[in-house]
Every structure is written in structure tokens, then in C-alpha cells.
Chain A
Amino acid sequence: MGRAIISNIQNTISNGDYVIDGLLLASGKIEIEIEVNSNCDILLKNIIDVKELNIVINRDSNVVLSFISEDEMNDSNINITVKENATLSGYFADFAEKTLNLHCKVNLAEPGASCTYRVASLVAGEDRKLVDISIDHISPRTYGKFDCYGICKDKGKIVVAGTSHVFKGAVKSKAQQNSKIMVFDESSDASTKPILKIDENDLEASHGSVVGKINDEHLFYLTSRGLSEEVAKELITWGYLRPILDGFKEEDVKNHISSLIERRM
């Protein structure tokens, strides 16, 4: 079964698989409301000209939002509100070329709302990228996790900004951030800005951020088995970015992302 196409400016959807294809949209703004107690899988692609995407996930719904970028993108804003006991699983496969400015804001607005967001980004050559993900914990017992895995090489530049804000009253909430960016050469530039804003005492919060070069021990292990340094680096890169494929359902989409990784490696 194929995915149902979302192309209107305002949409209300329930159970099912959907696709938002930027090439089929009439406007740079799109709004989606997911009905209560629904299970939805939404794939976003070609959203070069989408300036604003607003999604509301109503009570007890589970949404997978997977997103591929492969072209230049200027200032795209995604705003997602997650309501009571609803979950959002976000996957962002970023293989855009040149410029990407993505701002994604998730509001965990009601008790028990949950969000996990994983980003895989490959940055090379003339690429200049900003990935800015913020998760606001407004209500009690909310859960937010943001993982970013990036590869930066050949003069590429990336800034990953992650902000988790736990508001007063969001008791028993959990906020986690984890960013790992591997820089292949001295000409590349990567930085992460993990920010935790905490206005509540009764919570769990953690953040980890690593920007570093490829692990010498890993490289030695692989090359000691006969792999050239180039092939070893490709394998490590592939291993770093491959887990993002788990967020995409269709084999042809997985294959497409694989070919994007291979092309850019």
C-alpha cells in the first residue's frame, strides 16, 4: 500500500501512512492535526520551499515523522505539539547540499507526552548547516530525547544546537541530549551547543556532546585487517549514519538514503 499524499494547507489525519512531498505543495506553509488515539507514519521529502510546518499530535497518538533532506534548504521551521500520552518519533536524514537551516521546536504540552528525535547529518565541501532542535517540557512526566550523529569533512561546516527546557511544574520529566560529530580533517569545522534550561527540581536531565576526530584505535583495528584507510573511514562513516535508516519504512527509501550517503562519501 502506498502512502496517502498530504498537499492541502490544513489537514486532519488519523491512522495511516502519509507523505508530504514539497514538489506537490501549493503553499510554503502546512498544518497537520493528528486525531486522538491514532497511529501515523509521515514521510517528508523535497521540502525545499516549505517555510513552516505545524503539527499537533493529539492525545494517545503515536507518530513517526521521518524526514529526508537532499537539496539546499533555507530556514525551514517545524513546530510540533505533543499532547497527553502521545508520542513523537522523529528521524531526520540530512544529506542536503550547500545550505541547510533547520529549526525544529517540539512542545511536550500535556502530561505523559514523549518525543525522541534522531538526526544523522553528513557535511562536506561547501556545505554550511545549522540544525537547531529544541524540546520544551511544559507538563509533568514528559520525556524528550535528542540524538545527533554527524560527519564533517572536506571544509564542511555544521552547528548543532540542542535546547531542552524543563518548565516549572514539569515534575518527573526526563530530558536527554546526545551529540556526536566526527571531524575528518582540520579544514572542517563542527560545533555543538547543548543547552539545558531547568526551572524545576524534580526531574532527570543529562546532556553529552562530543566533537572529535576519527578514533585512532578504530582505524588501526580496521586497517590491520587489510582495509585501506579510505575504506576504513567509509565503513566508520557508514556505521555512524546507518542507524537513521531504522526510522524509514520502505526499502526503496532506505536504498535512496543509502545511495545519498554513498554519493556524498
Chain B
Amino acid sequence: MSTLKIINLHASVDGKEILKGVNLEVSEGETVALLGPNGHGKSTLLNVIMGHPRYEVTEGSIYFDDKNVLELSPDERSKLGLFLGMQAPSEIPGVVNSDFLKAAVNAHREKPISTYNFYKVLDAATKELKMPFDLATRSLNEGFSGGEKKRNEILQMELLKPKLAMLDEIDSGLDVDAMNVIADVINKEKAEGHGFLVISHYARLYDMIHPTRAVVIINGRIALDGGPEIFKRIDQTGYEFIKTEYGIDIEKEDVEMNKVSIGTCAVKESVK
């Protein structure tokens, strides 16, 4: 069973603890909406699952397919069937998108795919995503618009067929047509039994892909875990009801302010 099990997960970035004891289980084929206010740990959780080197796991464990994920490198996690569609995909100059895609596809196969078959698969996938084929011949994500980058993430998901795809704000920067295209691909993958853990700030995407569960992260922990009615309520009323009904104080996001100067030209005082 391709179940993701997260037990008492604590993780820090630059010495600051973001995840403070996350417990979560995502069963095979489930589609889970992951919600929460900004800065409370949603993206951190997905990055930690995928093995981003910037995040340090200080306590807890993650299992997928009964394998200890924290012992694996990011490429091994990918081969295990995990995928992270990133919020801000890296632009990598000079690396041709199709070379990268072919290397990624080959990394998941025992025998390398032939060039002919690869281009056949790539052509079909780019058509499905309504992407211009020339995106495949350009430098990876370099000069791509926000929407093109997100389609390119979904293209990779489509080619790699992960057992569990984690999508981090994959709908940001997309117009309605693009969102429809992406939702169609997700629904197709769902029908093939693949699981999803999806972060979005908008109900529109969730309405299209019909999550079976909604999970809310507050203050680095799972505060709510329930049915799809949760994301509908959050979309309509925000997170305030979690404080009033569940008694959970929502910590404000720590935003580092720029230093500004106040006063006259002659008297300047730097304040934080």
C-alpha cells in the first residue's frame, strides 16, 4: 500500500522551528486538500517530505510504502513514487527542458526510453496540457511565464506518473482555461489510482478536483482533519472559526520588516 505516514514531525529552517509535531496519514489514491494560513508550515511540510536540503528534520518520521523516507535522498524519494509540483520552480539556464525531461523519465526506468518513443510521449503530453511544443526545447523554466512554469510542473507529473503527487499552489498564476486543463490531468491521474496532496488558497481548484479530505495546518501542527466541507467554509469565512470553535490561537506570520527611516532630513532614526 502506497500510504504516506507522518509521525510527530518537527522541522526547522535556518534554526527556526516551523513544523512542531505533524501527524498525518494519506492513503493510496486519496486526494487531500492541505490548507492553512501563510507561514504555518504547508509548503515546509511538502518540501520536507521531498527532502529539500534547506529544511532540517529535528524529530519524527515519514514513511511511504513502508520505507523510511527520511533516510532517502530526493532522487530516491522520487523513484519511490513521490513528486513535488513546486510553487516557484527553479529556472536553470542552459539546461534544455526536453533533455531534463528525458533524463527524469529514464531515471524512473530500468532501460532508457528510445528518443522516438520519448518524443511521442512528450508530444502527446504537451498537447494534452495545451503547451506549445517549443517549451520543451527551451532552457528549463527560463523565461517561462508563471502559467507556463506551472504547466511544465504538471507535464513532469504526467510523464513520471507518481503514486503521490504533492502540488504546492499549482493554480497560482493560472487563468481559468489553464486551470481546467490542469484539473483534467489531475482527475485523469486520480482515476488511475494516484494520490494527491494539494495546497491551494482558492476553492476553485478544489471544486474541480474534488478532494476527499481537507487538512488544516495551524502553528506547525494539524489542527483540523475532515471532509471537503472544511475548505468550502474556509473559502467563505477564512480561518477565524478555528479560533472561536476549536480554541486554537492562530499565530501571526513573522514578517521581517525592511528597515525604514523616519524623521526629517536632519534627524533620521532607523527602526525595525
B248 at the interface (CB under 8 A from A): no
Q: Which residues of A contact B73 (CB under 8 A)?
A: 223, 229
What total of chain B residues lie within 8 Å of the partner, measured CB to CB?
Answer: 31
A172 at interface (Cβ–Cβ under 8 A)? Answer: no
Query: Do A224 and B94 touch (CB < 8 A)?
Result: no
Answer yes or no: B100 CB below 8 A from chain A CBs.
yes
Cβ of A225 under 8 Å from chain B? yes
The residues of A that contact B107 with a CB separation of less than 8 Å are 225-228, 231
Min C-beta distance of A235 to chain B, whole Å: 5
Known: A216-B53, A226-B107, A226-B108. A239 touches B93 (CB 8 A): yes
CB < 8 Å neighbour of A221 from B54, B86, B94: B86
Interface status of A18 (Cβ within 8 A of chain B): no
- Judge if B50 is at the interface, Cβ distance under 8 Å: yes
Contact between chains at A227 and B104 (CB < 8 Å): yes
Contact present for B90 and A221 (CB under 8 Å): yes
Q: Which residues of A contact B89 (CB under 8 A)?
A: 221
Please, which residues of chain A bring their CB within 8 A of the CB of B92? 218, 221-222, 236, 239
A242, B75: Cα distance in complex, Å: 25
Residue numbers in B under 8 Å from A241 (CB-CB): 94
Complexed CA–CA distance, A224 and B79 (Å): 9
Is the Cβ of A220 less than 8 Å from the Cβ of B53?
yes
Q: How far is the CA of A222 from the CA of B74 in the complex (A)?
A: 9
Cα–Cα distance between A220 and B92 once the two chains are bound (Å): 11
User: B95 interface residue, CB < 8 Å from A?
Assistant: yes
CB contacts (< 8 Å) of A229 on chain B: these are: 73, 75
Q: B75 to A223, Cβ gap below 8 A? A: yes
Q: Given A220-B74, A221-B90, A240-B94, are A226 and B139 also a contact pair (CB < 8 Å)?
A: no
Smallest beta-carbon distance A147→chain B, Å? 12
Known contacts A224-B84, A225-B160, A227-B104; is-contact A235 B75 (Cβ 8 Å): no
In the complex, the answer to whether B51 meets A224 with C-beta atoms within 8 Å is yes
A238 touches B94 (CB 8 A): yes
Residue of B51, B77, B104 most packed against chain A (CB within 10 A): B104
Interface residues of A in 170-217 (CB under 8 A from B): 215-217
CB of B119, distance to nearest CB on chain A (Å): 18
In angstroms, Cα B89 to Cα A252, docked, is: 35
Asked whether A236 lies within 8 Å of B95 as measured between CB atoms, the reply is: yes
* Complex contacts, A222 vs chain B, CB 8 Å: 92, 95, 100
Is B96 positioned at the interface, with any CB of A under 8 Å from its CB? Answer: yes
Q: Is A243 an interface residue when CB atoms closer than 8 A count as contact? A: yes
Interface status of B31 (Cβ within 8 A of chain A): no
C-alpha gap A238/B86 in the complex (Å): 24
A-side contacts of B103, CB under 8 Å: 227, 231, 235
User: Are B78's CB and A225's CB within 8 A?
Assistant: yes
B100 in contact with A235 (CB, 8 Å): yes
The 8 A-B residue pairs whose C-beta atoms are closest, nearest first, are A239-B94, A226-B107, A239-B95, A226-B78, A225-B104, A221-B90, A223-B74, A223-B75
